[in-house]
Amino acid sequence: MSKQKPEKNKADSSQKSYDNVALGLLLCAAVAAVGGSGVLFSVWWKTGPPDPIETIDFASREYIQGRVVLAGELARTAKFEDELDADDEDFLPEIEPEEQAEQTAEPDDETAAAPNPEDETAALKKKRDFLIGAGLVARAKESADARSQREHFAEAAPILEKIAASGFPIGREVDGLQFLGEAMFGLGEYDKAAKLLTQAIQRDPTLRRSLTPTLAQAQLKSNEPSADAALATIEEYLRDPALRVPLRRAAENIQIEALTQLRRFEEAQQIIDSKISSLPDPENDPQNELSEYRDQLKLAGAVVQIRKTIDRYGKKPNEKFLDRSKAVAELSEAMQSLADIHREGPPRLAAIARVWAGRAYLCQGMPDRALAQMTTVRQQRPFGAEAIIGSLEEMELLADQGRGLEMVQTTRFIMHELVNEQGFDASLLSFDEFQRRMIVALERLRDHGKYPAAIDIARMLPPVFSPAEALMQEGITYREWGASTVKEGTGIGGDVSRAASSLARTRFRAAGDAFAQAAEYDYDTPRYLPTTWAAIDAYQQGRHYGRSIQLLRPYLRYEERRRQPRGLVAFGRALLADNKPIEAIDSLETCIAEFTRDPLRYDARLLLAMACSEIGDLDKARAYLMDNLHDGELTPQSPAWRDSLFTLAEMLYRKGYENHLLAEQAYPAERIELLKKNQPILEDAIRRLDESAERYWPSPRAQMAAYLAARSHVLAAEWPRLESIAPDVLDTARRSLRNKVDTELQAALDGFGRLRESLLIREDEQRLSDDAKSMLRNCFMAEADTLKELGRLDDAAVAYRAVSLRYMNEPPALEAILGQARCMKALSRKREADLLIRQAEVVLQRIPTRFDGEFDRTTRYDRKGWEQLLAWMNSGIDDLGGIPGRS
């Protein structure tokens, strides 16, 4: 008996608790109906949260009674234990130890057969969420404020979509489809709305009359407009003889719009004329009850005529001064109707009329008038669907004309009015279509070269657009701006100026920064990898290889296999530029080994050759380049083949030059042997350099190849020259060696001369790049030096003098004057040589200080070193070993 008393007390307590909850719910329902959900919470939660199951049951009864908003508010208060925060847990009832033991005891057979509590809880949560979503949709439909309406729809849609994915609660399938379809329609998701509303009607045909007009409008406004389906839907609806007059008129407007979209203009006009003729004369309608309907029909008639004319002549003239007098004549009546609506129609109808007037003006070849109409529509209040479409078409007109500053101002106005996506009224235009057309307008603005304005606009887009989309547009603009900078800075010969190259790198890096930030926002979306690759590519074009390496590591981890080669090649290129040739080789060899048929293997071989050259493995580097040159799938016109030939030639020259420098520093006994071993490398370099220059002349790289070929001939003359003066060489061999020296030097002289003449011709036609200027200066000096080596001292003196005159009051003039002085001294004309030395001292004093940075780059000494050298030479000191500042 002692054990039964607590059970009885517990049962009484439970019954009392249930009665209190029921009374509390009824009281709260009344409070919510009068004071709203805020008062509801303040009253209800003072005594702690009620049982969620009872709350959901009570909310369901309210839903059945038609009080959907109240049901949603009640359901929102139902929280299960796993959803309670710390404050809510304070209200949970304390459980006695005995009761806790009973709850945690092993279940008997009867309990084990009971339904899974987790499944029941999930079903209750789904039911609760359905009621919340339904309440939000109902509240949106009751709201008079457009923004509030869209906010409720936006909150309801994801809740209902989540439920729809696993199935609506039993018995609520049709309601769920209807509510979700209405929410999607309110948000401008017309494709989804049409599908959902169709399913709702199919499941419950009694909804046909109430949902058909909305379904037809959704079909008309979908991303892929289905005017045929909309027309069939609305014509079936119009066959209902019991339709009330207002509903029939609204349906007939949809029918006219569908016929117009289908270009069945005559049928649409017949319906309009029939309806207008059936209306009483305005004089017999003193209350103007039908004035708005009459204006709607007049607007529909004008729209039919405008669309017919646009269909015939196009949206706008293809040429600025194209005669559009026929279009003007055809649209005169429509323009008069629109003017009447402007003056007398209600504000929203007048705004739509202005939009169509703007389109008509554009068709007539009057873009300024069209722009004025759209601007007027944009400035109307409230900022609804008509203002949005007017603003968008104003933006498109401004973009077509390249008016970037005005487009920035218009964008600022639009974004200020919309505030966020919930501020977008999608009744005339879906948000997706608005975004797409805005992005196209930005593309047109970029086509006009208005990159700063396009960047400003992209930065204004959030929060109406997602931050990721705004950053993508900013990145695209910077990338195109960088490419445009390179194009504008490229001369006729294909070389890019140093200033343009530096500026372009800055813009490419800004593009990479924008893309990288966009990728962070898109980390958990399918856009992450394409956006990351865009950032990598932009950074590499901007020579920001360190940043691209940071992005390439995760990119290669997540990218699918078929796109791995481009990542591996980019990774190898970045590592090579970052002075990490060993790591670069690993990445590039992986590309070649694992993707044997991918076209990027040619680029991988080229980069591998460069990396092997960096670590001194010339044989392996040469093998990779020869693989490209002998690959049957490449032709000399392909970039990979061309770059492989250039790289091989330049690599051979660099190796030959390094060997030559080592030989010069060796002991005399070893020098001849080292130069002899280097001779085949120089001959191979000359052959490849000549081939490169001949095939791809006059590209900048081909001109550099011609210069290096001439330099290689000079280097190749050194071994036979030293060999010819050896005491143990026979006269016949000495003559042969001297002939070889003269042959090599003459080939060098011819090469320098041809290149100099080519560059001088280009200089007459256009401004030379910094590299071309350096090459021209070197050709002048090298030609004079070669003449001196050939023993043609008079010709060499003349050549040196030409250089000193060309570069008067510049550092190269000093080298030329000293070269001329050496020629005079060799010709035993010492007095002239001394005068030239004094002249050099005067020239040095006249060189402006702005050229101080040029001394080290173009001569052997800096300014101080030249002052010391010339002072010693003028004092008769010939020992130059102690001259400071020698480079």
Q: How high is the pLDDT of residue 427?
A: 87
Which of 432-436, 472-476, 843-847 tops mean pLDDT?
Answer: 472-476
CA distance 240 to 161: 33
Do residues 605 and 568 lie in contact, with contact meaning Cβ atoms separated by under 8 Å? no
Do residues 216 and 230 lie in contact, with contact meaning Cβ atoms separated by under 8 Å? yes
Q: Give the count of alpha carbons within 13 A of 759, CB side only.
A: 26
Q: pLDDT-derived band of residue 46, with 50, 70 and 90 as boundaries?
A: very low
Residue 879 in this model has a pLDDT that exceeds 80: no
Q: What are phi and psi of 320, to 5 degrees?
A: -60, -45
Other CB atoms within 10 A of residue 400 CB: 16
| Backbone conformation region of residue 828, classed left if phi is above 0, alpha if psi is from -120 to 50, else beta | left
Model pLDDT for residues 658-681, shown as the tens digit of each residue: 999 999 999 888 999 999 999 999
Q: How high is the pLDDT of residue 86?
A: 47
CA distance 144 to 167: 32
Domains of the chain: 19-85+121-257 (1.25.40), 697-874 (1.25.40.10)
Query: Residue 829: is it exposed, middle or buried by C-beta count within 10 angstroms (0-12/13-18/19+)?
Result: middle
Any residues with CB less than 8 A from the CB of 644 and at least 6 apart, and which?
Answer: 602, 605, 606, 609, 625, 628, 629
Residue 877 in this model has a pLDDT that exceeds 50: no
Other CB atoms within 10 A of residue 105 CB: 9
The two tokens of residue 334 are 């429509």
CA distance 136 to 183: 9
Other CB atoms within 10 A of residue 309 CB: 22
The two tokens of residue 508 are 């490419």
The two tokens of residue 294 are 């009459």
CA distance 605 to 68: 70
Least confident of 273-282, 569-578, 835-844: 273-282
Residue 779 in this model has a pLDDT that exceeds 70: yes
Model pLDDT for residues 201-211, shown as the tens digit of each residue: 999 999 999 99
Q: What are phi and psi of 790, to 5 degrees?
A: -75, -5
CA distance 561 to 575: 21
Q: Hey, what amino acid is at 565?
A: P
Model pLDDT for residues 155-173, shown as the tens digit of each residue: 999 999 999 999 999 989 9
| Mean pLDDT of the 261-269 span | 93
Do residues 277 and 331 lie in contact, with contact meaning Cβ atoms separated by under 8 Å? no
Please report the DSSP string for 105-137 in residue order: SPP-HHHHTSPPHHHHHHHHHHHHHHHHHHHHH
Q: How high is the pLDDT of residue 290?
A: 80
The two tokens of residue 814 are 């000093």
Model pLDDT for residues 785-809, shown as the tens digit of each residue: 999 999 999 999 999 999 999 999 8
Q: Hey, what amino acid is at 21?
A: V
Q: Cα 229 from chain centroid?
A: 37
Model pLDDT for residues 712-741, shown as the tens digit of each residue: 999 999 999 998 888 887 888 889 999 999
Q: How high is the pLDDT of residue 885?
A: 52
Model pLDDT for residues 603-639, shown as the tens digit of each residue: 999 999 999 999 999 999 999 999 999 988 889 999 9
Residue 49 vs residues 44, 91, 103, 759, 811: alpha-carbon distances, Å: 7, 7, 22, 89, 90
Q: What are phi and psi of 886, to 5 degrees?
A: -80, 135
Chain position carrying tokens 């069939």:
232
Q: How high is the pLDDT of residue 279?
A: 84
Q: What are phi and psi of 496, to 5 degrees?
A: -100, 135
Do residues 681 and 657 lie in contact, with contact meaning Cβ atoms separated by under 8 Å? no
| Mean pLDDT of the 466-486 span | 97
Q: What are phi and psi of 188, to 5 degrees?
A: 80, 15
Q: Hey, what amino acid is at 107?
A: P
Q: pLDDT-derived band of residue 84, with 50, 70 and 90 as boundaries?
A: low
Percent of the chain with pLDDT over 70: 88
Residue 304 vs residues 220, 263, 361, 692: alpha-carbon distances, Å: 16, 9, 15, 66
Q: How high is the pLDDT of residue 286?
A: 55
Other CB atoms within 10 A of residue 241 CB: 6
Do residues 775 and 757 lie in contact, with contact meaning Cβ atoms separated by under 8 Å? no
Q: pLDDT-derived band of residue 284, with 50, 70 and 90 as boundaries?
A: low
- 49: nearest Cα among 26, 32, 24, 31: 24
Q: pLDDT-derived band of residue 24, with 50, 70 and 90 as boundaries?
A: low
The answer to whether the bond into 367 is cis (omega within 30° of 0) is no
Q: Hey, what amino acid is at 286?
A: P
Do residues 377 and 369 lie in contact, with contact meaning Cβ atoms separated by under 8 Å? no
- Report the chain's C-alpha Rg in angstroms: 42
- 817: nearest Cα among 833, 831, 793, 794: 833
Please report the DSSP string for 730-762 in residue order: -HHHHHHHHHHHHHHHHHHHHHHHHHHHHHHHH
| Mean pLDDT of the 412-417 span | 93
Q: How high is the pLDDT of residue 31?
A: 46
Least confident of 216-230, 525-539, 558-572: 216-230
Q: How high is the pLDDT of residue 876?
A: 67
C-alpha triplet 331, 337, 340: angle, nearest 5°: 140
Q: pLDDT-derived band of residue 48, with 50, 70 and 90 as boundaries?
A: low
CA distance 609 to 604: 9
Give the pTM.
0.81
Percent of the chain with pLDDT over 90: 69
Q: How high is the pLDDT of residue 51?
A: 83
Residue 366 in this model has a pLDDT that exceeds 80: yes
With both helix axes pointing from N to C terminus, report the angle between 347-363 and 385-400 in degrees, rounded to the nearest 10: 20
Q: How high is the pLDDT of residue 790?
A: 92
Q: How high is the pLDDT of residue 493?
A: 67
Top-confidence residue, 560 or 82 = 560
Element (H, E) at 287: none
Hey, is 490 helix, strand or coil?
strand
Q: pLDDT-derived band of residue 430, with 50, 70 and 90 as boundaries?
A: confident
Q: How high is the pLDDT of residue 639?
A: 93
Q: How high is the pLDDT of residue 324?
A: 86
**DSSP alpha helices (H): ranges in 282-366?**
291-313, 325-330, 332-344, 347-363
Q: How high is the pLDDT of residue 380?
A: 84
Chain position carrying tokens 């509390």:
24
Chain position carrying tokens 């940043």:
547
Residue 29 in this model has a pLDDT that exceeds 70: no
Hey, is 419 helix, strand or coil?
coil
Q: What are phi and psi of 490, to 5 degrees?
A: -90, 125
Least confident of 3-17, 349-363, 864-878: 3-17
The mean pLDDT value of the chain amounts to 87
